């Protein structure tokens, strides 16, 4: 089973920040938090990952709480193309381990 809990769906207005929460209260010290998204009928796409510190790349920012029991993915300026299912996944990042996908959060961005 997935080690994470995410809301089923969220809405966001185009141009606004989308903040997607994820709970992972049983995370271990050597487990990373990964985010992927899946646009309809496409394969999942890697977004970002982190261990303890906040991370930012060209797509998004990842904020991890100090106790590491939850995190938030931030899309700073959502566009219609960001409408997708977003998956938060916890894994030991440096082993060849499988990704355990939950049902994710369906983000709907509207104009």
List contacts with another protein (CB under 8 A): 2, 32, 34, 36, 41-46, 49, 85, 87, 91, 93-104
CB of 33 to another protein, least distance (A): 11
Nearer to another protein, 48 or 75 (CB): 48
**Dihedral (C-alpha) 69, 44, 55, 76: value to the nearest 10 degrees?**
-100
Nearer to another protein, 14 or 101 (CB): 101
CB of 84 to another protein, least distance (A): 13
Determine the 3-state secondary structure of 81 from DSSP. Answer: helix
Nearer to another protein, 13 or 99 (CB): 99
Q: Which structure tokens are listed for 83?
A: 């409408």
CB 34 within 8 A of CB 91: yes
CB 24 within 8 A of CB 3: yes
């Amino acid at each position: 089973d997935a080690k994470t809990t995410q809301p089923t769906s969220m809405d966001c207005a185009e141009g606004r920040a989308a903040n997607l929460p994820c709970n992972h209260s049983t995370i271990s010290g050597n487990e990373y938090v990964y985010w992927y998204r899946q646009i309809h009928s496409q394969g999942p796409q890697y977004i970002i990952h982190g261990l303890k510190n906040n991370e930012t790349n060209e797509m998004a920012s990842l904020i991890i709480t100090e106790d590491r029991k939850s995190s938030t993915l931030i899309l700073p300026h959502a566009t219609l193309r960001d409408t997708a299912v977003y998956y938060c996944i916890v894994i030991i990042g440096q082993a060849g381990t499988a990704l355990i996908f939950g049902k994710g959060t369906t983000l709907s961005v509207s104009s």
